[in-house]
């Protein structure tokens, strides 16, 4: 797994562990992959931005946080699976 993909995975794992993130932190991520891996990274990036926007706005609503974290978990699973196939 490339270093930049590991950064995305690391941030996903932190958020899934109950952590928070900011839009600036997400926007600073750099990543690239081939084919389906790139699509999974793009999807995770968008989901992280949505989560970060809520964090920055102070809109921490437990059911919404849980729903977004579940979606992020699915993205993480996809990235790991696709990275292992590459």
End-to-end alpha carbon distance in the chain: 9
Q: What's the pLDDT score for residue 20?
A: 87
Residue 37 pLDDT: 93
- Specify the number of domains making up the chain: 1
Cα–Cα distance for residue pair 11/6, rounded to 1 Å = 9
Q: Is the pLDDT of residue 57 over 60?
A: yes
Domain that holds residue 9: 3-85
pLDDT in tens, 2-45: 668 899 999 999 999 988 889 999 999 988 888 999 999 999 99
pLDDT reading at 1 higher than 60: no
Residues 64 and 17: their CA atoms lie apart, in Å, by: 16
Decide if 11 contacts 29 (C-beta within 8 A): yes
Residue 49 has pLDDT above 90, yes or no: yes
How far from 49 is each of 1, 26, 45, 53, 84, CA to CA, in Å?
A: 22, 6, 6, 6, 25
Tell me the pLDDT band of 74, cut-offs 50, 70 and 90: very high
The DSSP secondary structure of 7-42, one letter per residue, reads: HHHHHHHHHHTT----HHHHHT-----STHHHHHHH
């Amino acid at each position: 797994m490339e270093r930049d993909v590991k950064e995305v995975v690391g941030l996903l794992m932190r958020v899934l562990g109950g952590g928070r993130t900011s839009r600036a932190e997400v926007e600073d991520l750099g990543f690239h992959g081939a084919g389906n891996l790139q699509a999974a990274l793009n999807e995770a990036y968008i989901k992280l931005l949505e989560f970060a926007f809520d964090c920055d706005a102070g809109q921490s609503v437990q059911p919404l946080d849980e729903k977004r974290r579940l979606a992020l978990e699915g993205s993480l699973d996809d990235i790991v699976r696709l990275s292992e196939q590459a």
